């Protein structure tokens, strides 16, 4: 089960945080979830679901036997 | 294939829903008319390089009209992220937020978004927004399209979301700061105010709509329309066979390093959802052909709308079943401080073609071969010898579009990411010290095929008396194997080119030959003087099917009209006429 975490920035910060799944910018808060032992930062719960149902199986498929 | 779902599956009468949808679209169209009539620069009142959109107060796009697909898609992210970043409570009636940050949803740095909240009886109902390409925003190159930029700071003044208007009062300190960094500040003033004017028109019309039907009714109607669009899009996707479809394409160089740049896409159809994954594309490159997330997403939506039913209302609902993965730090998702000005014009159309190319095996009746896919960006500026005023212009050309299974490709049409128009010769010559020597369709530039690719254009301009023009260019598809690809035996389209003939010379030569630029298609700040001529060739589109199967009357007509030369007709089409 994931949770929302705020992104703390300073006024001079220019580097913007991307979602670990889709790559889009996350403006103010991240959806943080544990996926197979790794803590990942998503833009939304929708992206966590996409990661679990698409990216993880893709990587398994691509991994050498 | 009929996938049309029932409209009005919710609580609102389908006829009323259609009226509300058309009202949203027409508000956006009226914003556009306001822009064309009030803007100062030809890029807006002739080129139509802007887009107008409506949003609800949750950041959903509820209405748009027939503007630039790239901007329309980027606006989804621009508005949502801006509202999230500033906080919804920070908006007050009469505010206008300005922003052009390519890392915050924008398509590229010249694209300036203005966003205005719409309040109804003291409650925030939604937002109206206008995204427009300002022709000059400073940076290292006149026209702010530095083809050899290696970081965003060289591309122009970067503006994070700021309130340029607070409660209908201009924040003049910010205006002055911005205009001091642009080469043509009067145009900046006129063009951004035209954008803001369009927002005021939209706000007025939206409030009239709320007065007429009631706020809750319009909110419910917008929700039903989005659900309707989502159902329709899901049905369209579900009709495509499940599977993984891949495509790889290249750009000839990035303007800084003379090496091809790889793009790769995997389109997965999984029931009623589509996942478009750009993993496998090149790492971010040094030159400015990197795409922002807004560009890559926009290209995906653009492609999907090309191969699905054009009647689907274009709102956030239609986008819901489409998932996009664009790994940060690659050419499909540039990260700070990478340059990206050419990603919107050169990369976007190629990404569109790649998605449709991937789907071609299962959607052959709906896809097209590749288009010329270069906006043929030509930027120039200087002091006008007649007026003494500094001018700058962003010019783009129409290329040939790809042929389809059922028709030839369009000739001389602006790239697929924009519904922009070319600038008339008369406007050019009235405003700028350049004379148009030739403007024509390029014979043999359409890829041969059972259906022929569309033709590119040739434009030759001569620098006028007493003028000195600083010019930059960003083209693609000018060499090697990087022409617009054909489908099912169709042949590639013709090359694009930009060449120069110095005063007194007898022939056109490439810019590396004359000025020593790294790239023949991408360079910055070349000084041309009276009598020099520049030749812009826009690339043609790819053909579809075996050219020898082309209707013989069509081949003869092409030859008669000068679209295909007799030599090419004989060699490629097997034509036996004289």
3-state class of B104 per DSSP? helix
What pLDDT, on the 0 to 100 scale, is given for residue A61? 86
- The helix (run of H) or strand (run of E) holding residue B107 is none
Q: Output phi, psi for B567, to 5 deg.
A: -65, -45
What pLDDT, on the 0 to 100 scale, is given for residue A62? 83
Q: Which residue has the higher pLDDT, B70 or B29?
A: B29
| pLDDT tens digit sequence for B381-390 | 999 999 999 9
Distance from CA of A25 to the nearest CA of B (A): 7
Number of Cβ within 10 Å of residue B124's Cβ equals: 17
Mean of the per-residue pLDDT values for chain B?
95
Smallest Cβ–Cβ distance between A23 and the set B104, B326, B337 belongs to B326
Cβ of B81 within 8 Å of Cβ of A27? The answer is yes
Q: What average pLDDT does this structure show over B144-158?
A: 96
Smallest Cβ–Cβ distance between A14 and the set B323, B324, B336 belongs to B336
Smallest Cβ–Cβ distance between B84 and the set A14, A23, A28 belongs to A28
Distance from CA of A20 to the nearest CA of B (A): 8
Smallest Cβ–Cβ distance between A54 and the set B77, B275, B297 belongs to B275
Rg of chain B's alpha carbons, rounded to an integer? 23
- Helix B185-213 crosses helix B215-238 at what angle (to 10 degrees)? 100
pTM score of the predicted model: 0.95
Cβ of A25 within 8 Å of Cβ of B81? The answer is yes
Cβ of A23 within 8 Å of Cβ of B103? The answer is no
What pLDDT, on the 0 to 100 scale, is given for residue B6? 53
Rounded Cα distance, B157 and B44, in Å: 20
> Within an 8 Å CB–CB cutoff, is residue B335 touching chain A?
yes
* Distance set, CA B429 to CA B191, B506, B560 (Å): 21, 24, 32
Lowest-confidence pick of A13-22, B269-278, B324-333: A13-22
Cβ of B327 within 8 Å of Cβ of A23? The answer is yes
Q: What average pLDDT does this structure show over B381-403?
A: 94
Cβ of B325 within 8 Å of Cβ of A22? The answer is yes
- The helix (run of H) or strand (run of E) holding residue B553 is helix B552-560
* 8 A C-beta contact, residue B251 and residue B265: no
Q: What is the DSSP string of A21-48?
A: TT--EE-SEEEEEEETTEEEEESSHHHH
Q: Which of A13, A24, A49 to mutate to test binding with chain B, by most B CBs within 10 Å of its CB? A: A24
Of the candidates B405, B409, B243, B278, the residue with the CA atom closest to the CA atom of residue B352: B278
What pLDDT, on the 0 to 100 scale, is given for residue B1? 44
Residues of A in contact with B103 (CB under 8 A): 14, 16, 25
Confidence of residue B72 (pLDDT cuts 50, 70, 90): confident
What pLDDT, on the 0 to 100 scale, is given for residue B91? 97
Of the candidates B425, B411, B333, B316, the residue with the CA atom closest to the CA atom of residue B371: B411
Smallest Cβ–Cβ distance between A23 and the set B104, B293, B336 belongs to B293
Cβ of A23 within 8 Å of Cβ of B85? The answer is no
Rounded Cα distance, B521 and B376, in Å: 9
Half-sphere exposure of B486 (CA within 13 A, CB side): 26
Nearest residue on chain A to B328, alpha-carbon basis: A23
What pLDDT, on the 0 to 100 scale, is given for residue B5? 56
| pLDDT tens digit sequence for B252-303 | 999 999 999 999 999 999 999 999 999 999 999 999 999 999 999 999 999 9
Could you report the predicted ipTM of this complex, rounded to two decimals?
Answer: 0.95
Q: What is the DSSP string of B512-550?
A: HHHH--S-SSEEEEEEEETT-EEEEEPPPPPPBS-GGGS
Is the torsion defined by CA of B409, B413, B417, B419 positive or negative?
negative
Bridge partners, residue B507, by sequence: none
Rounded Cα distance, B351 and B353, in Å: 5
Structure tokens at B187: 């145009």
């Amino acid at each position: 089960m994931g949770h929302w975490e705020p992104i703390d920035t300073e006024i001079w910060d220019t580097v913007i945080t991307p979602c670990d799944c889709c790559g889009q910018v996350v403006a103010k808060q991240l959806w943080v979830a544990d996926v197979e032992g790794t803590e990942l930062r998503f833009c939304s719960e929708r992206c966590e679901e996409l990661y679990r149902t698409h990216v993880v199986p893709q990587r398994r498929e691509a991994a050498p036997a | 294939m009929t996938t049309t779902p029932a409209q009005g599956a919710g609580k609102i009468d389908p006829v009323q829903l259609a009226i509300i949808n058309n009202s949203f679209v027409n508000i956006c169209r009226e914003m556009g008319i306001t822009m064309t009539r009030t803007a100062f620069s030809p890029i807006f009142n002739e080129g139509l390089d802007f887009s107008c959109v409506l949003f609800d107060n949750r950041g959903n796009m509820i209405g748009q009209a027939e503007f630039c697909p790239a901007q329309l898609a980027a606006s989804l992210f621009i508005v949502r992220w801006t509202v999230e970043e500033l906080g919804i409570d920070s908006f007050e009636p009469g505010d206008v937020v300005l922003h052009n940050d390519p890392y915050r949803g924008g398509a590229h740095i010249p694209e300036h978004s203005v966003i205005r909240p719409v309040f109804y009886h003291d409650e925030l109902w939604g937002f109206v927004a206008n995204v427009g390409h300002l022709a000059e925003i400073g940076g290292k190159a006149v026209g702010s399209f530095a083809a050899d930029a290696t970081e965003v700071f060289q591309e122009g003044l970067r503006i994070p979301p700021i309130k340029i208007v607070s409660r209908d009062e201009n924040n003049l300190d910010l205006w002055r700061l911005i205009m001091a960094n642009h080469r043509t500040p009067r145009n900046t003033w006129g063009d951004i105010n035209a954008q803001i004017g369009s927002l005021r028109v939209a706000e007025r019309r939206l409030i009239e709509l709320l007065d007429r039907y009631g706020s809750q009714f319009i909110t419910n109607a917008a929700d039903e329309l989005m659900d309707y669009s989502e159902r329709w899009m899901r049905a369209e996707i579900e009709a495509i066979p499940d599977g993984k479809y891949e495509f790889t394409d290249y750009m000839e160089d990035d303007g800084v390093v003379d090496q091809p740049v790889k793009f790769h896409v995997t389109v997965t159809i999984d029931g009623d959802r589509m996942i478009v994954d750009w993993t496998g594309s090149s790492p971010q490159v040094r030159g400015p052909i990197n795409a922002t997330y807004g560009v890559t997403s926009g290209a995906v939506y653009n492609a999907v709308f090309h191969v699905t039913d054009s009647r689907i209302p274009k709102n956030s609902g239609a986008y819901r079943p489409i998932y996009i993965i664009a790994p940060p730090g690659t050419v499909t998702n540039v990260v700070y401080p990478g340059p990206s000005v050419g990603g919107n014009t050169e990369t976007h159309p190629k990404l569109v073609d790649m998605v449709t190319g991937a789907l071609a095996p299962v959607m052959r009746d709906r896809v097209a071969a590749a288009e010329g896919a270069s906006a043929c960006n030509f930027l120039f500026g200087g002091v006008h010898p007649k007026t003494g005023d500094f001018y700058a212009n962003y010019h783009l050309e129409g290329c040939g579009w790809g042929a389809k299974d059922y028709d030839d490709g369009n000739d001389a049409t602006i790239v697929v990411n924009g519904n922009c128009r070319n600038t008339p010769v008369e406007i050019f010559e009235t405003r700028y010290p350049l004379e148009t020597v030739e403007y024509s369709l390029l014979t043999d530039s359409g890829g041969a095929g059972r259906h022929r690719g569309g033709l590119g254009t040739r434009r030759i301009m001569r620098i006028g008396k007493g003028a000195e023009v600083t010019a930059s260019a960003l083209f693609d598809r000018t060499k090697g194997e990087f022409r617009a690809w054909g489908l099912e035996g169709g042949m590639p389209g013709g090359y694009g080119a930009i060449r120069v003939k110095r005063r007194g010379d007898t022939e056109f030569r490439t810019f590396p030959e004359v000025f020593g630029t790294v790239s023949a298609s991408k360079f910055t700040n070349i000084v041309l003087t009276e009598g020099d001529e520049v030749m812009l060739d826009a690339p043609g589109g790819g053909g579809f099917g075996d050219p020898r199967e082309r209707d013989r009357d069509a081949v003869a007509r092409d030859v008669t009209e000068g679209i295909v030369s007799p030599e090419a007709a004989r060699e490629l089409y097997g034509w036996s006429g004289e």
